[in-house]
C-alpha cells in the first residue's frame, strides 16, 4: 500500500476508533450468558452493529424480531381419551368457528359417544386455524381434530374494541354538538382559559331546553308494528290434513347403544317377570309426616325411590342372588356374589335412558339415598354425567309410574340379574279385614334372570319388598 493510499484511509480509521471503543465497552457490559435484552440494548444503540456485523449478516434487532415470530406455533388438538371401553364417537357440533380465539381449557367441540357426551377443550390459548373433520363424522381416540395457532389474543381485536368504545362517546358528543351549539362552546372555554367560564353560565339553560326534542324524535314504534305482522306468515307452515311427508333422522350413538344392549339382554338372559301389588297407604303417610321437616333440615325432597331402594337392600340379605351376576365365556360359568349394593337408577333424558349408579347404597340411610338420586338425576338432565357415574351397578330400579305407567315388564341391564319396575299409584277397592276399602295401590314388577334365580327366590324377594313398604317400621328392625 502506497503512502497516498494510507493517507486517504486515515480519516476513516480515525472516525471509526470512537465507535470501536464504544462497541467494545457495550460488549464487555454483556454478561457471560448474554440475554436478549442486553443484546437488544447494544444493537438499538447502533454500536454493536457497527462493530460485529459482517456483510450479509442480520442485525441483532432483526434476529430478535424473527425469534419473536417463531414463538407463535401451530398445534393440533386431538380426540381425548374418553374411557377404557370407548374408542370412538361422533363429532356432534363445533362450539367455535375458524378464526375464533379460545382460552386454555375452553370447549371447542362436543363428541357424542354411546354413553355420554365428551367435550374437547383447548390445551392452550390460541386462535382456531382449521377444522380437520366435519360435524357428524366418526372420530377415534387420538385422531386430529383442529389446528390451533398458539399465542395471545390478537391485538387487533382488542384495539378495535378499544377504538369502538372510544368512538361511542365521540359520536355522542358529535350528536349533541350538532343539535345544541352551546355544548361546543362549553368545551372551547375550558381549553382556552378559566375566566371565560363565568360568561358561559346562561348557556346551560339552552342545553337543558334543547335535549328535549331528541326525546320526542325517538319513535321506535313503527318498526315494532312492522315486526308484528311477521308471525302470521309462519302459521301456514303447519301441517295440513292429509299431509304424507316423512322425515328420516339418523339414530344417535346413545340410542344405538341402548338398542344393542337391550337386544343383547334378550338374547342372553332367560328373562322372566313376576308381579305383585303393594298398598302405599303407610309409606305415603310416612312421607307426608316427615317430608317438610327433612326438606327444611336436610334440603332434600323425600320421595318413594329411597324407600324402595332401602327395602331392596334389606330384602337382598335374605336373597343375595338378586345382587349377584353371571360372568365368564360363552354366556358365563361363574357366579359373582357381592357384599356391596350399587343401585342403578333409570333416568329418562332427551337422548335416551341412562342409568347412573348410587354407590354403596347399603351404607346410606333413606335421606342419603334420596340426596344421591336427586344429584344424579340433575346431572343426567343437564348432560353432565360422566363414565364413572354410570359404570358398574348391581341392581336396577326403574320408575315408570312418574309417566303414568300402570304395568310393564322391565328388561334386565346386563350383567345384572334383576330389575325392579315401579308403576303408577291408583286408588282401588281392596278387601281389608273383611271390608272393602279404597286404598292407593301400586303394581310391582320384578324381571329376573332365570339362569341364576329360581321362581321361589324371585317371588320371596318381591314379597319382602311389599312387606317393608306396607309397614316401614319393619325397616327399622
Q: Of 112, 124, 106, 105, which is closest to residue 82 (Cα–Cα)? A: 112
> Is the Cβ–Cβ distance between 334 and 326 less than 8 Å?
yes
In 3-state terms the chain splits into helix, strand, coil percentages (rounded to 5) of: 45, 20, 30
Catalytic residue among 105, 199, 365, 454: 454
Q: What CA–CA distance (Å, rounded) separates 412 from 287?
A: 29
Are 94 and 108 in contact, with CB atoms under 8 Å apart?
yes
Dihedral angle sign, alpha carbons of residues 35, 38, 44, 47: negative
The whole-angstrom separation of Cα 373 and Cα 379 is: 10
Q: How far is CA 444 from the centre of its chain?
A: 37
For the question of residue 450 being annotated catalytic, the response is: yes
| Residue 144 annotated as catalytic | no
CA 213/CA 149 separation, integer angstroms: 52
Residue 168: burial class (beta carbons within 10 Å; 0-12, 13-18, 19+): exposed
Give me the sign of the Cα torsion angle 169, 174, 180, 183. positive
C-alpha closest to that of 396 among 302, 472, 325, 329 = 325
Task: State the angle between helix axes of 36-44 and 60-70 in degrees (0 to 180), rounded to the nearest 10.
Answer: 140
- The residue written with cell numbers 321506535 in the block is 220
| Catalytic-role residue among 74, 105, 427, 450 | 450
Alpha-carbon torsion angle 98, 104, 107, 113, nearest 10: 110
CA angle 125/130/136 to nearest 5° reads: 105
What is the set of active-site residues? 450, 454
Amino acid at each position: 500500500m502506497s503512502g497516498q493510499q494510507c493517507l486517504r484511509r486515515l480519516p476513516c480509521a480515525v472516525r471509526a476508533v470512537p465507535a470501536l471503543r464504544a462497541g467494545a465497552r457495550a460488549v464487555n457490559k454483556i454478561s457471560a450468558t448474554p440475554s436478549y435484552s442486553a443484546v437488544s440494548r447494544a444493537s438499538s444503540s447502533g454500536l454493536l452493529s457497527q462493530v460485529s456485523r459482517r456483510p450479509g449478516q442480520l442485525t441483532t434487532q432483526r434476529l430478535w424480531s424473527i425469534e419473536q415470530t417463531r414463538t407463535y406455533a401451530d398445534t393440533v388438538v386431538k380426540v381425548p381419551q374418553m374411557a377404557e371401553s370407548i374408542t370412538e364417537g361422533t363429532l356432534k357440533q363445533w362450539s367455535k368457528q375458524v378464526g375464533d380465539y379460545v382460552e386454555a381449557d375452553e370447549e371447542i367441540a362436543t363428541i357424542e359417544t354411546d354413553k355420554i357426551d365428551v367435550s374437547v377443550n383447548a390445551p392452550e390459548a390460541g386462535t382456531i386455524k382449521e377444522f380437520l373433520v366435519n360435524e357428524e363424522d366418526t372420530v377415534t381416540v387420538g385422531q386430529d381434530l383442529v389446528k390451533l395457532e398458539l399465542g395471545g389474543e390478537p391485538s387487533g381485536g382488542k384495539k378495535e374494541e378499544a377504538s369502538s368504545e372510544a368512538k361511542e362517546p365521540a359520536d355522542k358528543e358529535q350528536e349533541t354538538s350538532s343539535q345544541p351549539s352551546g355544548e361546543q362552546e362549553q368545551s372551547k372555554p375550558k381549553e382556552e382559559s378559566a375566566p371565560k367560564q363565568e360568561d358561559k353560565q346562561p348557556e346551560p339553560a339552552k342545553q337543558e331546553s334543547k335535549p328535549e326534542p331528541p326525546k320526542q324524535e325517538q319513535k321506535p314504534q313503527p318498526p315494532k308494528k312492522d315486526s308484528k305482522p311477521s308471525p302470521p306468515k309462519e302459521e301456514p307452515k303447519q301441517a295440513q290434513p292429509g299431509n304424507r311427508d316423512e322425515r328420516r333422522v339418523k339414530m344417535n350413538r346413545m340410542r344405538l347403544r341402548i338398542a344393542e344392549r337391550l337386544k343383547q339382554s334378550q338374547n342372553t338372559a332367560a328373562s322372566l317377570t313376576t308381579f305383585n301389588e303393594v298398598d302405599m297407604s303407610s309409606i305415603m303417610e310416612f312421607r307426608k309426616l316427615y317430608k317438610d321437616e327433612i326438606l327444611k333440615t336436610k334440603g332434600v325432597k323425600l320421595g318413594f325411590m329411597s324407600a324402595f331402594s332401602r327395602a331392596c337392600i334389606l330384602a337382598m340379605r335374605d336373597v343375595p342372588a338378586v345382587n349377584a351376576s353371571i360372568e365368564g365365556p360363552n354366556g358365563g360359568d361363574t357366579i359373582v356374589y357381592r357384599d356391596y349394593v350399587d343401585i342403578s337408577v333409570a333416568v329418562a333424558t332427551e337422548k335416551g335412558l341412562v342409568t347412573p349408579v348410587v354407590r354403596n347404597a347399603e351404607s346410606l340411610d333413606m335421606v342419603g339415598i334420596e340426596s344421591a338420586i336427586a344429584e344424579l338425576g340433575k346431572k343426567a338432565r343437564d348432560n353432565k354425567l360422566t363414565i364413572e357415574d354410570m359404570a358398574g351397578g348391581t341392581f336396577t330400579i326403574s320408575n315408570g309410574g312418574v309417566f303414568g305407567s300402570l304395568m310393564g315388564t322391565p328388561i334386565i341391564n346386563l350383567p345384572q340379574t334383576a330389575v325392579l319396575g315401579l308403576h303408577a299409584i291408583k286408588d282401588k277397592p281392596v278387601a281389608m279385614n273383611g271390608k272393602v276399602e279404597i286404598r292407593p295401590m301400586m303394581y310391582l314388577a320384578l324381571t329376573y334372570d332365570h339362569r341364576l334365580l329360581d321362581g321361589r327366590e324371585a317371588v320371596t324377594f318381591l314379597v319382602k319388598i311389599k312387606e317393608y313398604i306396607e309397614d316401614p317400621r319393619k325397616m327399622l328392625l
